[in-house]
């Protein structure tokens, strides 16, 4: 066992579907690179604030989902849980969002997480595989 989830990751897994929690909690221990869960369950207000970014608010666009007409998989489903998490690699002593090796490390982590999901007979999608809205920190249940 190389790594374990820190307090921030555990807090961000609260309200996330148990199957997704299981994948992440299993994956961390022998992940090729340490990681932090930076976001899990999202309120509608939070989704709306993210949607406003790059539109009516400053900053880059980070989502095409407005939270009302289209709901993010981070928002609670009818089962009460969020079905998505955002992860960043943790190296050189901190969570790395913009380091030149962030994407390379996310790719390593994603390969590992997919393998863990398969071993648990669960299906996961990685935003790094998406063409329409490339989103490499994002993982969601399928």
The footprint of Zn ion (CB under 5 A) covers 84, 86, 138
Q: Which of 106, 104, 113 is nearest to 89 (CA)?
A: 106
What burial letters (b/e) apply to 117-140, b meaning 16+ CB within 10 Å? beeeebebbbbbeeeeeebbbbbb
Least distance in angstroms from the C-beta of 1 to Zn ion: 27
Least distance in angstroms from the C-beta of 126 to Zn ion: 11
Give the CB-nearest residue to Zn ion: 138
Least distance in angstroms from the C-beta of 53 to Zn ion: 14
Report which secondary-structure segment, H or E, holds 39. Answer: strand 35-39
Least distance in angstroms from the C-beta of 51 to Zn ion: 13
Residue 84 or residue 109: which is nearer to Zn ion going by CB?
84
Phi, psi of 87 (to 5 degrees): -130, 140
* Alpha-helical runs (H) found in 1-142: 7-12, 18-27, 44-52, 102-119
Residue 34 or residue 135: which is nearer to Zn ion going by CB?
135
Residue 2 or residue 70: which is nearer to Zn ion going by CB?
70
Residue 30 or residue 97: which is nearer to Zn ion going by CB?
97
């Amino acid at each position: 066992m190389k790594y374990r989830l820190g307090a921030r990751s555990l807090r961000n897994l609260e309200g996330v579907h148990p199957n997704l929690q299981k994948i992440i909690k299993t994956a961390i221990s022998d992940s090729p690179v340490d990681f932090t869960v930076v976001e899990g369950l999202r309120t509608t207000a939070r989704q709306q604030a993210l949607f406003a970014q790059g539109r009516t608010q400053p900053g880059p666009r980070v989502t095409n989902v407005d939270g009302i007409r289209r709901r993010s998989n981070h928002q609670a489903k009818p089962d009460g849980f969020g079905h998505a998490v955002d992860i960043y690699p943790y190296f050189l002593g901190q969570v790395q969002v913009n380091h030149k090796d962030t994407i390379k490390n996310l790719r390593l982590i994603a390969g590992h997480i997919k393998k863990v999901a398969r071993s648990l007979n669960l299906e996961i999608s990685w935003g790094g595989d998406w063409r329409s809205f490339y989103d490499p920190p994002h993982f969601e249940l399928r």
